[in-house]
């Protein structure tokens, strides 16, 4: 996926290049959002910004002005669709972990092509070996410390495997490397709680509300015994799961209906149902 | 601490600015070393490079050529002392966690002033609230996912507190925010194992060998009941601890002897004993 264009900013100022003293590069001391765009607009922008605010509150640093970021994002999209990525870091600082007080945030926007369509029949998943560590202080937010996801995604190269499911060090199922997980159990739709690890996805929030899904601890056996399983994220929408180890699922009417509903609310995702 | 000079490289090539598509900024997908310099030389360079190699093996990416990095580092030092910081990342890649295959590493060197001297009578420490998560896949290596250290260091602003001790989510003592920990127990010198979290420090390795210290699980009560406590890192050397909550320690002869021995082996640390 090529980087079409990148714009860098320090506080309110556009800058020609990313500053040398960035704490984002030094420590992953930042947050990011990947936002699906449609015809130059960002339909889920308010939800993305709210998560960014929760993250900035947790990490204790300032965000740039929302209106400025939105305006620069739309200027960068220039009427097109695709994916917009925003990174916001704590800004500059010396060597050493102590956060700088009142530093202007560094932020950058990049525009990317929309990802290629995935098979409508559903995804083929695997179980990852890597276990996610438990860190309540960082759980839920979309921060830039993502080595666990990088290492988990490096476990396979087979292009027919679309994503991998991750368990925590305590054995609960948490998410896929780049998506949240929903499981249709006998008791209804459930999704793993993200209060100790994992990310509170924007599409996850939407699906929880629509389905009335419960946040809970999810066991490997819950997934393998499920009536239906889907992944979701804010870039690809609702992704039915077709295979996992020796289990397979046909497209479930409730998942197909959820895809149709998302496409109706957010036309950017209409192509996923084609 | 000001950044005196920064040099950036892609593989073997010097570049004018840090590339836009860096996975270090995106995910903290990189490693770093902070190396004490003395009169233009880097006395512990082999140990730093070995740790870098262990990290690159764990993360599965290529390092730049060792001789090239060493030569550029010494050119940057230009006969001076201080601190040299090296960051090496997996290099460029598209949006998404899947690591790029065979990418040239991105790396940068920066030169910083030596840190100000700390009180020879010893450090004043606190206990941090934040607990370190357990992640054996990343333990020991000096990777760029350092939000836990940033958040722990943000817990206090009192300049009279020199560092904070961190426990794991299971309650064992692991390290300080920016140093390893040694404790003189009834059974001799012990230091926390770093197989589930924490960093295998270069100065820690040196001190373990000199003292014949044992790697083990260390409890809060082990620290509070200790005959002596010191911190160490490769930038500041051996740092006696004087106070922790309601415990205080006088400088211990074995710690002072260790400082003298380090100063004799590595003159860069001689000022710490002044």
Residue A152 neighbours by CB under 8 Å, 6+ apart: A128, A129, A130, A164, A166, A177, B97
pLDDT tens for chain A, 274 residues: list them: 444 589 999 999 999 999 999 999 999 999 999 999 999 999 899 999 999 999 999 999 999 999 999 999 999 999 999 999 999 999 998 789 999 888 999 999 999 999 988 898 999 999 999 999 999 999 999 999 999 999 999 999 999 999 999 999 999 999 999 999 999 999 999 999 999 999 999 999 999 999 999 999 999 999 999 999 999 999 999 999 999 999 999 999 999 999 999 999 998 888 644 4
pLDDT at B273 over 50: no
**Residues A143 and A192 reside in one and the same domain:** yes
Residues A141 and A222 occupy one common structural domain: yes
- Residues in chain A within 8 Å Cβ distance of B34: 95
The CATH number assigned to the domain holding A28 equals 3.30.470.10
**Banded pLDDT at B2 (limits 50, 70, 90):** very low
**Contact predicate B210/B220, CB 8 Å:** no
- ipTM more than 0.90? yes
Contact (CB<8Å) B97/A153: yes
Same-domain pairing of B108 and B133: no
- Range B157-176 average pLDDT: 97
Within a domain: residue A118?
no
pLDDT at position B75 over 70: yes
Taking an 8 Å cut-off on Cβ atoms, the answer to whether A154 and B99 are in contact is yes
- DSSP lists the bridge partners of residue B247 as B244
More confident residue, B236 or A4: B236
**A131 vs B contacts (CB less than 8 Å):** 135, 137
pLDDT at B82 over 90: yes
Q: Is A159 on the interface with B (CB under 8 A)?
A: no
Among the listed residues A155, A73, A57, A239, the one whose alpha carbon sits nearest the alpha carbon of residue B97: A155
Question: What residues of chain A lie within 8 A of the CB of B3, using their CB?
Answer: 20-21, 94-95
A64 is a domain residue: yes
Cα nearest neighbour of B31 on chain A: A26
A147: nearest CA in chain B? B29
Question: Across the interface, do B29 and A134 touch by the CB < 8 Å criterion?
Answer: no
CB contacts of B60 in chain A (<8 Å) are 151, 154
The residue range of the domain holding A10 is 3-112
The residue among B6, B59, B95 with the most chain A CBs within 10 A of its CB, best to mutate, is B95
Average pLDDT value for residue range B183-206:
98
The whole-number pLDDT of residue A8 equals 97
Say whether both B102 and B178 belong to one domain. no
Q: Do residues A181 and A204 make contact, with C-beta atoms less than 8 angstroms apart?
A: no
Residue B117 lies in a domain: no
How distant is the alpha carbon of residue B150 from its chain centre?
14
pLDDT of residue B50: 98
Contacts of A89 in chain B (CB under 8 A): 25
Separation in Å, CA of B255 to nearest CA in chain A: 25
Structural domains counted in chain A? 2
Interface test with B, best of A21, A28, A30, A91 (most B CBs within 10 A): A28
Q: Which of B89, B169, B178 has its CB closest to that of A97?
A: B178
Is residue A150 located within the same domain as residue A14?
Answer: no
Inter-chain residue contact B29 with A95, CB threshold 8 Å: no
Q: Say whether both A91 and A128 belong to one domain.
A: no
CA dihedral B123, B129, B135, B141 (to 10 degrees): -20
Measured between beta carbons, the chain B residues lying within 8 angstroms of A162 are none
Q: Are residues B7 and B82 in the same domain?
A: yes
Residue of A nearest to B29 (CA): A147
Greater confidence (B270 vs A249) lies with A249
Last residue of a domain, one of B112, B131, B164: B112
Q: What is the pLDDT of residue B271?
A: 61
Q: Specify the pLDDT at position B4.
A: 53
Contact A147 B22 (CB under 8 A): no
Does an H or E element contain B75, and which? helix B66-77
Q: Where residue B214 sits, what CATH number does that domain have?
A: 3.20.10.10
Give me the half-sphere count of Cα atoms (radius 13 Å) on the Cβ side of residue B162: 22
Residue in B6, B26, B32 nearest the CB of A144: B26
Partner A contacted by B169 (CB < 8 A): yes
Q: Does B159 touch chain A (CB under 8 A)?
A: no
CA distance B271 to B114: 11
Average pLDDT over residues B244-262: 96
Q: What phi and psi values does residue B224 have, to the nearest 5 degrees?
A: -70, -20
Contact B20 A3 (CB under 8 A): yes
């Amino acid at each position: 996926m090529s980087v079409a264009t990148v714009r860098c900013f320090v506080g309110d100022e556009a800058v020609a290049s990313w500053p040398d003293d960035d704490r984002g590069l030094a420590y992953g001391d930042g947050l990011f959002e990947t936002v699906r765009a449609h015809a130059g607009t960002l339909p889920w922008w308010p939800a993305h910004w709210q998560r960014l605010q929760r993250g900035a509150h947790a990490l204790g640093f300032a965000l740039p002005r929302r209106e400025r970021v939105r305006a620069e994002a739309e200027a960068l999209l220039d009427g097109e669709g695709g994916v917009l990525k925003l990174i916001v870091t704590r800004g500059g600082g010396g060597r050493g972990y102590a956060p700088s007080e009142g530093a202007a945030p560094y932020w950058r926007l990049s525009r990317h092509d929309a990802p290629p369509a995935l098979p409508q029949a559903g995804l083929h998943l695997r179980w990852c070996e890597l276990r996610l560590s438990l860190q309540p202080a960082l759980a839920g937010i979309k921060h830039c410390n993502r080595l666990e996801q990088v290492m988990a995604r490096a476990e396979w190269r087979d292009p027919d495997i679309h994503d991998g499911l991750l368990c925590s060090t305590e054995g609960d199922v948490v998410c896929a490397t780049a998506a949240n997980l929903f499981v249709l159990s006998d008791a209804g739709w459930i999704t793993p709680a993200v209060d100790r690890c994992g990310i509170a996805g924007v599409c996850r929030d939407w699906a929880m509300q629509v389905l009335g899904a419960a946040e809970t601890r999810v066991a490997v056996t819950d997934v393998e015994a499920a009536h239906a399983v889907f992944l979701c994220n804010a870039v690809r929408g609702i992704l039915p799961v077709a295979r996992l180890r020796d289990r397979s699922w046909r497209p479930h009417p409730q998942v197909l209906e959820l895809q149709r509903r998302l496409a109706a609310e957010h036309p950017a995702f209409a192509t996923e149902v084609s």
